[in-house]
């Protein structure tokens, strides 16, 4: 029988485990979050990060700037944060306005304070298995598998998506855990056949309910990283049916969230699966907190 992987429960366990580590530091780990512009989704993500830091008793600074800020002005803010010893982690909330040189900004963050794990130094450390900050969402997936005692070594994992933020680091972490890994993407020939080989299937493509029954091997572990907002009723009905709870929720709110996997097929065919919302999503911020505390521990004199 299929079992739900409860990301909220694991998130709470991770945060509880951090509290004694924070107490042992003798000071508050410091996180600075830089928010540019007024993107509503980014504002929600940042407020969640600020709230979680406060709940853990960490030092949090939220630095907001208008969308008109220049690349050089943003680089100056990052340089100032790099120089402050009480700041252990720096996060520049994505996406940035189009006129900003995003890569220059990310590359300017001191690698030891790069709690998103995006700096080329940390990408290199991940590739060769050295310690350092790792991207939060893939790290959260690995923590979910570990805490549910789901075997990874010797399993065939298929990652659908090759982004620098999720797909590539997800594949690398699974490889380090001794899985045999296949990375699929938009140009993969016979995607469904590749996915059906998976003991562990990870959907990270950003297309609502794209991975369906024909992509799923019965009994596989199905990890849905996608978070897609559906704003059209016909799309909701196509996935969930006219008389479903999701359709009723859409009629009430005007939108619903769905992952990259068809949730009805995943629930029926999997051994374990992550719902959307409530699966992988809660773990991203939890692992950001882990990266910040680990940075503080490494930087402790």
Which domains occur in the chain, in start order?
25-112 (3.40.50.10860), 136-283 (3.40.50.720)
Q: Is the CB of residue 142 less than 8 Å from the CB of residue 290?
A: no
Distance CA 157, CA 169 (A): 13
Q: What is the mean pLDDT of residues 288-300?
A: 95
Q: Say whether pLDDT at 262 is over 90.
A: yes
Distance CA 301, CA 299 (A): 6
Q: Say whether pLDDT at 294 is over 80.
A: yes
Distance CA 115, CA 88 (A): 8
Identify whether 103 is a catalytic site residue: no
Residue pLDDT, tens place only, 212-230: 999 999 999 999 999 999 9
Please give the mean pLDDT across all residues of the chain.
96
Candidate list 88, 93, 246, 260, residue with the active-site label: 93
Residue pLDDT, tens place only, 178-199: 999 999 999 999 999 999 999 9
DSSP 8-state symbol, 165: T
Q: Say whether pLDDT at 301 is over 90.
A: no
Q: In three state form, how does the secondary structure of 231-287 look?
A: CCHHHHHHHHCCCCHHHHHHHHHCCEEECCECHHHHHHHCCEECCCCCCCHHHHHHH
pLDDT at 300: 83
Distance CA 228, CA 208 (A): 6
Q: Say whether pLDDT at 239 is over 90.
A: yes
Q: Which residues face 159 on adjacent strands?
A: 183, 202
Neighbours of 38 (CB within 10 A): 10
Tokens of 41: 């989704």
Contacts with 127 (C-beta within 8 Å, 6 or more apart), sequence order: 172
Backbone angles phi, psi at 108, to 5 degrees: -80, -15
Distance CA 183, CA 194 (A): 9
Using alpha carbons only, what angle is made at residue 65 by residues 86 and 163, rounded to the nearest 5 degrees?
A: 80
- Tell me how far the alpha carbon of residue 139 is from its chain's centroid: 8
Candidate list 88, 114, 116, 260, residue with the active-site label: 116
The residue written with tokens 């709870």 in the block is 245
Identify whether 72 is a catalytic site residue: no
Identify whether 3 is a catalytic site residue: no
Nearest Cα to 99, choosing from 71, 126, 76?
71
Q: What is the pTM (predicted TM-score) of this model? A: 0.95
Contacts with 275 (C-beta within 8 Å, 6 or more apart), sequence order: 4, 224, 259, 263
């Amino acid at each position: 029988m299929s079992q739900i992987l409860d990301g909220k429960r694991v998130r709470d366990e991770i945060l509880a485990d951090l509290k004694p580590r924070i107490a042992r530091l003798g000071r508050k780990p410091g996180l600075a979050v830089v928010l540019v512009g007024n993107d509503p989704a980014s504002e929600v993500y940042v407020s969640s990060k600020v709230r979680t830091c406060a709940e853990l008793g960490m030092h949090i600074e939220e630095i907001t700037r208008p969308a008109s800020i220049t690349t050089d002005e943003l680089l100056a803010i990052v340089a100032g944060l790099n120089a402050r010893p009480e700041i252990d982690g720096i996060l520049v909330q994505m996406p940035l306005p189009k006129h900003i040189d995003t890569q220059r900004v990310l590359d300017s963050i001191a690698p030891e304070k790069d709690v998103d794990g995006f700096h080329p130094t940390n990408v290199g450390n991940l590739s060769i298995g050295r310690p350092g900050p790792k991207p939060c969402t893939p790290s959260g997936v690995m923590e979910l598998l570990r805490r549910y005692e789901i075997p990874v070594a010797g399993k065939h994992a298929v990652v659908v998506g090759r982004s620098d933020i999720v797909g590539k680091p997800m594949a690398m972490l699974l490889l380090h855990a001794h899985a045999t890994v296949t990375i699929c993407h938009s140009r993969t020939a016979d995607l469904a056949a590749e996915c059906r080989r998976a003991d562990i299937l990870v959907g990270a493509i950003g297309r609502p309910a794209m991975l369906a029954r024909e992509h799923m091997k019965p009994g596989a572990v199905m990890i849905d990283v996608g978070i897609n907002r559906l704003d059209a009723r016909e799309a909701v009905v196509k996935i969930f049916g006219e008389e479903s709870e999701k359709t009723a929720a859409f009629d009430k709110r005007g939108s619903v969230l769905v992952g990259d996997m068809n949730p009805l097929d995943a629930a029926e065919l999997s051994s374990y699966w992550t719902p959307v919302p409530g699966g992988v999503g809660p773990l991203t911020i939890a692992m950001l907190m882990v990266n910040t505390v680990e940075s503080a521990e490494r930087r402790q004199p």
